[in-house]
Structure 1
Amino acid sequence: MIENGKKVTIHYTGTLDDGSQFDSSAGRDPLEFEMGAGMVIPGFEKGVADMEVGDKKTINIPAAEAYGEKRDEMVMEFDRSQLPEDLEPEVGMGLQMQGPQGQPVPVQITEVAEATITIDANHPLAGQNLNFELELVSVN
Structure 2
Amino acid sequence: MQIENNRVVFIRYLMKNQAGEILEDTLSRDPIGFLHGSAAIHPDLQKQLNGFKVGDKPRVSLTLSAHEDFVFEVIIDAVREATEAEIVLGYPLQVPPKCEEDCDCYDV
TM-score band, normalised by shorter chain? 0.5 to 0.7
Matching residue's letter, 2:71? N
1:22-33 to 2 correspondence within 5 Å? 22-33=23-34
Question: Which consecutive segments of 4 or more residues in structure 1 shift more than 2 A?
Answer: none
- Give me the whole-angstrom Cα distance separating, in 2, the residues matched to 1:20 and 1:36: 29
**1:16 corresponds to:** 17
**2:57 corresponds to:** 56
Kept in 1, the 8 Å contact 2:7–2:36? The answer is yes
Matching residue's letter, 1:30? P
Q: Percent identity?
A: 27
Q: Does 1:41 align with 2:42?
A: yes
Partner deviation per Cα, 1:44-85 (whole Å, 9 max, x = no partner)? 111211211111121111x2xx3x42xxxxxxxxxxxxxxxx
1:100-111 to 2 correspondence within 5 Å? none
- Give me the whole-angstrom Cα distance separating, in 2, the residues matched to 1:3 and 1:59: 16
- Give me the whole-angstrom Cα distance separating, in 2, the residues matched to 1:49 and 1:3: 5
Matching residue's letter, 2:29? R
Q: How many residues align?
A: 79
Structure number having the greater strand percentage: 1
**2:6 corresponds to:** 5
Partner deviation per Cα, 1:96-137 (whole Å, 9 max, x = no partner)? xxxxxxxxxxxxxxxxxxxxxxxxxxxxxxx32110111111
Q: CA deviation at 1:31?
A: 1.4
Secondary structure at 1:129 match in 2: strand
Secondary structure at 2:61 match in 1: strand
The runs of 5 or more residues in structure 1 that have no matched partner are 70-126
Bigger radius of gyration, 1 or 2? 1
Matching residue's letter, 2:47? K
Q: CA deviation at 1:33?
A: 0.6
